Chain A
Amino acid sequence: MTKYITTYNYLKETKSYADGFIIGIKDLTVNFSGVYEIEEVVEMIQKLKEEQKEVFVALNKNMHEEDLKYLEDTMKTLDSLDITGILYYDIALVTIKMENQLKTPLVWAQEHLTTNYMTCNYWHQFGADYAYLSGEITMDEIIEIKENTEVKVMVPIFGRLPMFVSKRHLVENYLHYFHINTNTKNFQIEKEGKRYPIMDNKQGTVVFSSYYLNGLSESLVLKKHGIDYFYLNFDGIKKEWISTIMKNYVEADDENKGEYEKAIDELLEGNTDKGFLYKETVYKVK
């Protein structure tokens, strides 16, 4: 049965429908909103488990030497809490898991690199029981991965998609260089009428898609192929709409899918897209 997950900071709006939550940890997480101190996370995990929710923790930034001690301590702490899995980008997590014989399963979540079934199976040998698939692959590719891998497959199905992660402080640098004063914390960059959210914090800069992926109809097809998890990203969505969107996804069926999907499109004023679900990107330029 397919499960639906989102990030912890939308717990209140989604608790009735979500099967699990992804929690971010301060200084170790990128591209999942809501990051917390490890002490807070321990409490969150206990509460979620009492409510029989699955718990994933995203430790998915690129790890530098200076991050390793904190990362290892965090992984050890999480291992004592019996969570569902840890999302990783950096391969240091694989080594730390092996060196410390940690039991917590890993989730291979190398963002744009999780694009084929053989590499899912490769990481499975090293404790990755789950793969969080790239947002840039097609329906056919997702299905083929599911059919050829033993790991549980997570698919981003709704919301803005991550496009870019940098260690550089691109917004801060720009504002500083041109002596621009602003109180805003919410930036976007505009090109040809499309606006891309851009966030600059201690970790660096991230950029997200201009549109919200809305794969509600496609989620029904993928469910039939046994996709294990759908991830919904509610960043940028008005609080009052989140519950409706989550409900529509969870309760969608072949009868109502058109109506439910359209309702979401209307809430988001048409700023929705099918992403790469039907769009294969070009490999050879010429």
Chain B
Amino acid sequence: MKKPELLAPAGDLERLKWAILYGADAVYLGGSLFGLRANANNFTLEEIKEGVTFAHERGKRIYVTVNIVLHNKEIPDLIHYLQALEEIGVDAIIVSDPTVISLAHKHTNLEIHLSTQQSTLNHKAVLFWKQQGVTRIVLGREASKEEIKNIIDHVDIEIECFIHGAMCASYSGRCVLSNFLTARDSNRGGCSQICRWDFKLEDEKQNVLEGEKDFTFCTKDLSMLEKIPEMIEMGICSFKIEGRMRSIYYIATVVNIYRRAIDRYFEDPKHVTYHKEEERILRNVANRDSVVQFFDGVYDESCQYYNGREEVSNQDFLGVVLSYDEKTNMVSIEQRNYFKPGDHVEFFGPSMDPVSVTIPQIYDVEGNELDRARHPREMIRMKVDVRLHQNDLMRIKRES
């Protein structure tokens, strides 16, 4: 059985490096043109080149989204952009408009993945795209496990599925709420997440059908952590994490947890267990509840935030390990959120299992003892008897 690729998002070069460092096999990103996240930082061609070099040196892959719905005026610039991406050496482009496929085939040898924006949910559609030279299909998020199995059984092509992150309330590509309510084009990178707004639901006589909370399209996030073994056994080729605009901590945490889940399966497929504590961490890091949704054929009210947002703490991220002195066991940490001696924390990183620690005495860079770490980005030093590494992260340890 082939190990699936763990595919992570990156909104900028720094996030790209953290994603790879924490275990992503591949990273997808948006260039400054033709992507679907206009308000993510996005990459210049020079930054894409640097990202590609960083990834390839570590045996990882880079995919670039070219997945906007094209308008006439954008066509002339597209060919040069595609050629530039090929020259840089990106491993694939992710597209939704078939004109991009045509032009990429005609003017480059770029590998092409079909974006979820096409909402591909059946094998007949998959077959068409395969015949057009697409090598991978990112399925629509509405696909159930039976549908995914059917598609894999019918067509020999790489199948990529989302495993974690925010969900569109609509079929991807079929929502233009942003266009109408904010004049931002949701299919050209301007989605302003109207699905998270509140509305009044009314009957035809404008009587409000009032619940305790207003009507909203808002859905919970997706989490497939407990389904990872099943997804591996189905032969899904790539597991995709959503969220090019997410923080470094989010990317490191989510990638790390899924990396470990995939690796655990391949170490001992018969005795793999689902770690509820990891699920809790995933929920905390996103500050949103997450559920399985369409994979199990469930898309009822349990998948939505009709009950108002269940706010949970997003202050878990406490610091980044800058260095560790093995002789003195002193660790230098860049503070990201408030902590103090006596707090129960956890270190985690790409090369270690999470380790629980009680914060000992803490010091500033000049060796002055502190009663708490209260200043963001302040360097804190303390003694930790566990071997730590640069870029390990420290988070709150919560009781299960």
A119 neighbours in B (Cβ, 8 Å): 70, 97-99
**Is B183 on the interface with A (CB-CB < 8 A)?**
yes
Would you give the 0/1 interface string for B338-374, flagging 1 where the beta carbon is closer than 8 Å to chain A? 0000000000000000000000000000000000000
Q: Mark A108-151, 1 if CB is under 8 A from B, else 0.
A: 00111101111100110000000000001100010011001000
- Please tell me if B71 contacts chain A, counting CB pairs below 8 Å: yes
Partner of A145, one of B72, B185, B188: B72
Determine whether A279 belongs to the interface, using a CB cutoff of 8 Å to chain B.
yes
The answer on a CB contact under 8 Å between A190 and B199 is yes
Q: How far is the CB of B399 from chain A (nearest CB, A)?
A: 30
Q: How far is the CB of B337 from chain A (nearest CB, A)?
A: 27
Residues of B close to A221: CB separation below 8 A: none
**A191 contacts B199, CB within 8 Å?**
yes
CB pair A174–B211 under 8 Å, yes or no, is: yes
Are A67's CB and B122's CB within 8 A?
A: yes
Q: Is B274 part of the binding interface, using a Cβ–Cβ cutoff of 8 Å?
A: no
B49 within 8 A of A: no
The answer to whether A116 and B38 touch (CB under 8 A), given A173-B301, A176-B301, is no
A167 at the interface (CB under 8 A from B): yes
Contacting A at CB under 8 A, from B162-205, are: 169-171, 173-177, 179-181, 183-185, 187-190, 197, 199-204
A282 near B: Cβ within 8 Å? yes
A174 touches B301 (CB 8 A): yes
Are B70 and A118 neighbours in the complex by a CB distance under 8 Å? yes
In the complex, chain A residues 79-134 whose Cβ is within 8 Å of any chain B Cβ? 90-92, 94-96, 110-113, 115-119, 122-123
Closest chain-A Cβ to B35's Cβ sits at a distance in Å of 10
CB-CB under 8 A from A62, the residues of chain B are 119, 121, 140, 142, 171, 174
Q: Determine if A68 and B124 form an interchain contact, defined as CB atoms under 8 angstroms apart.
A: yes
State which of A63, A118, A161 has its C-beta within 8 Å of the C-beta of B125: A63
Q: Is the CB–CB distance between B211 and A180 below 8 Å? A: yes
Docked-complex contact A115 and B69, CB < 8 angstroms:
yes
Contact across chains for A115 and B189 when beta carbons are under 8 A apart: no
Q: Is B253 an interface residue (CB 8 A)?
A: no
**Which one of A164, A189, A190 has the highest number of Cβ atoms from chain B below 10 Å of its Cβ?**
A164
Question: Does A241 touch B at the CB level, under 8 Å?
Answer: no
**Given the known A-B contacts A112-B187, A118-B102, A170-B217, are A164 and B173 also in contact in the complex, defined by CB atoms under 8 Å?**
no
CB-contacts of A252-266 with B (<8 A) = none
Q: Which residue of A lies closest to B127 (CB)?
A: A95
A1 interfacial by beta-carbon distance below 8 Å? no
Interface of A is mostly: mixed
Interface residues of A in 50-82 (CB under 8 A from B): 62-68
CA distance A122 to B129 in the complex (A): 13
Whether B72 pairs with A117 at a CB distance below 8 angstroms is yes
- A90 is contacted by which of B125, B208, B210 (Cβ under 8 Å)? B125
B120 CB, nearest partner CB in chain A, Å: 7
Determine if B212 is an interface residue (Cβ-Cβ < 8 Å). yes
What residues on A are CB-neighbors of B219 within 8 Å? 168
A145, closest chain B residue (CB): B72
| Minimum C-beta distance from A161 to chain B (A) | 8
Contact A64 B122 (CB under 8 A): yes
| B contact residues around A207 at 8 Å (CB) | 177
A47 interface residue (CB < 8 Å to B):
no
User: Would B179 and A136 count as touching, CB distance under 8 A?
Assistant: yes
Q: How far is the CA of A84 from the CA of B142 in the complex (A)?
A: 32
**Shortest Cβ gap from A198 to chain B (Å):** 8
Chain B, Cβ-Cβ closest to A113: B69
Query: In the complex, are the beta carbons of A112 and B174 less than 8 A apart?
Result: yes
Q: Are B121 and A95 in contact (CB under 8 A)?
A: no
A170 to B303, CA, bound (A): 10
CB contacts (< 8 Å) of B124 on chain A: these are 63, 68, 91-92, 95-96
When C-beta atoms are compared, the residue in chain B nearest to A189 turns out to be: B199
Residues of B within 8 A of A187 (CB): 201-204, 209
1/0 per residue, CB under 8 A from A, across B124-158: the answer is: 11011100000000001011101100110000000
Interface residues of A (CB under 8 A from B): 62-68, 90-92, 94-96, 110-113, 115-119, 122-123, 136-137, 141, 144-145, 148, 161, 163-171, 173-178, 180, 182, 184, 186-191, 195-196, 198, 207, 209-210, 276, 279, 281-286
Closest 7 CB pairs of A and B: A178-B211, A92-B124, A281-B185, A189-B199, A184-B203, A173-B301, A91-B125
Q: Chain B interface (Cβ within 8 Å of chain A)? A: 38-39, 68-72, 74-75, 96-99, 102, 118-125, 127-129, 140, 142-144, 146-147, 150-151, 169-171, 173-177, 179-181, 183-185, 187-190, 197, 199-204, 206, 208-213, 215, 217, 219, 294, 299-301, 303-304, 306-307
- Extra contacts besides A116-B99, A161-B180 (9): CB < 8 Å: A67-B122, A90-B121, A95-B127, A113-B97, A166-B170, A176-B301, A196-B199, A276-B179, A283-B188
